[in-house]
């Protein structure tokens, strides 16, 4: 059995109740997603010990918390004794210290006097040119990268990130996202990442926890969870699937061919070497359905599929159809109820999925 993080929390406020029971992977990025007020940050603060909920938390085989109802005594490690790193919306760097001194503070906090991991953290976040600069001279994205490096130098067993991009403009978000992707690929510790942005979820998540009104509405591997048609309204407006693809060829006519287990996609030419991995998002609204292929269509990306299930969409007069390609890859299509009736779209129907647009996430 693979190691997991066990988390069970119950926390009641006058107008809100958090009640979750989770088993999360002990590697990769787990994204806590939901609308404002769903309990994302409250749950993250329970992991950190900043909010004292009743329950149980086990990380890397160690009990950080074990408090049961009716028991007077239990186990509760305070925040400063939990081996975790924290990154919030604001970088909260020490303004009177250089970047290097801020990082050294992180090492001292954990007793990491030898500087183990300093060069690796600096290079992972691309901040070596910033080491002798003061925080006020950095951009928002640069400050956040320093904050992440400082958190890593505390030698955490769990890294908690509470909407680290929320305070950044689009340019700065695009600046820091590639570094967060490197974290996902290279870190050997689990990351809990709070976000309300579907594009961040699609780009970064290995595992997804969808929260609604303080409870877990869905939890599972991100790619499979995103392909469900029964998710609550928090995802309804932006329904779609994410595919892990590989750059297979750069065509002479200016297109790049991406391959995945279910086939291939053509996209505009990408400045990526052959063999590079790319995540792609296909929105349900960008998938149309047909009963047969059409040679006179301008749509290049078409797939033979079978309808798995059909569910009502968030907007009146529309439905979501889940489609399965021969290899098992799932797609979602948002179509009108009128089109569903006209085509006879129902579970088991063989169909042609026409992908009008592909969003590249990296």
Q: Note the pLDDT tens digit of each residue in 164-212.
A: 998 888 888 888 999 998 888 888 899 999 998 888 999 999 999 999 9
Is residue 16 within 8 Å of 39, Cβ to Cβ?
A: yes
Write the CA distances from 326 to 77, 113, 175, 246, 331, integer angstroms.
Answer: 49, 55, 38, 19, 12
Is residue 158 within 8 Å of 59, Cβ to Cβ?
A: yes
Q: Does the pTM of the predicted model rise above 0.75?
A: yes
- The full DSSP string for 106-123 is HHHHTT-TT-TTHHHHHH
Residue 111 is predicted with a pLDDT of 60
Question: By three-state DSSP, how is residue 179 classified?
Answer: helix
| pLDDT, tens digit, 9 for 90 and up, residues 303-332 | 999 999 999 888 889 999 999 999 999 999
> Whole-angstrom distance between the N-terminal and C-terminal Cα of the chain?
32
State which of 152-156, 296-300, 332-336 shows the largest mean pLDDT: 332-336
- What the chain holds in terms of domains, given with CATH numbers, is 4-233 (3.40.50.300), 240-360 (2.40.50.100)
Q: How far is CA 312 from the centre of its chain?
A: 25
Q: What is the mean pLDDT of residues 144-160?
A: 92
| pLDDT, tens digit, 9 for 90 and up, residues 5-59 | 999 999 999 999 999 999 999 999 999 998 889 999 999 999 999 999 999 999 9
Is residue 250 within 8 Å of 173, Cβ to Cβ?
A: no
> Nearest 5°: CA angle at 224, between 181 and 11?
80
Give 231 or 254, the one with higher predicted confidence: 254
């Amino acid at each position: 059995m693979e190691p997991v993080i066990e988390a069970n929390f119950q926390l009641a406020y006058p107008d809100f109740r958090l009640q979750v029971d989770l088993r999360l992977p002990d590697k990769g990025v787990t994204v806590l997603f939901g609308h404002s007020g769903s309990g994302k940050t409250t749950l993250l603060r329970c992991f950190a010990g900043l909010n004292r909920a009743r329950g149980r938390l086990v990380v890397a085989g160690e009990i950080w918390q074990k408090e049961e109802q009716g028991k007077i005594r239990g186990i509760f490690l305070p925040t400063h004794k939990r081996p975790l790193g924290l990154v919030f919306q604001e970088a909260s760097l020490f303004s009177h210290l250089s970047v290097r001194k801020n990082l050294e503070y992180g090492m001292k906090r954990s007793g990491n006097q030898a500087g183990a991991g300093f060069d690796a953290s600096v290079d992972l976040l691309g901040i070596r040119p910033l080491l002798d600069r003061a925080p006020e001279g950095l951009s928002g994205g640069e400050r956040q990268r320093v904050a992440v490096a400082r958190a890593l130098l505390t030698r955490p067993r769990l890294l908690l990130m509470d909407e680290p991009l929320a305070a950044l403009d689009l340019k700065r978000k695009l600046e820091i996202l590639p570094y967060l992707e490197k974290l996902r690929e290279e870190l050997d510790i689990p990351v809990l990442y709070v976000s309300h942005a579907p594009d961040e979820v699609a780009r970064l998540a290995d595992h997804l926890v969808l929260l609604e009104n303080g409870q877990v509405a869905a939890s599972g591997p991100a790619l499979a969870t995103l392909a469900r048609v029964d998710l609550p309204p928090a995802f309804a407006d932006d329904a779609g699937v994410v595919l892990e693809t590989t750059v297979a060829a750069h065509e002479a006519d200016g297109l790049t061919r991406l391959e995945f287990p279910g086939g291939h996609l053509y996209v505009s030419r990408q400045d990526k070497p052959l063999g590079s991995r790319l995540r792609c998002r296909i929105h349900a609204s960008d998938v149309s359905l047909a009963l047969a292929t059409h040679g006179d269509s301008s749509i290049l990306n078409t797939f033979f599929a079978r309808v798995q299930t059909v569910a009502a969409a968030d907007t009146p007069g529309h439905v979501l159809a889940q489609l399965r390609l021969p290899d098992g890859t799932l797609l979602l299509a948002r179509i009108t109820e009128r089109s569903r009736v006209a085509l006879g779209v129902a579970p088991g129907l063989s169909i042609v999925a026409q992908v009008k647009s592909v969003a590249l996430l990296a």
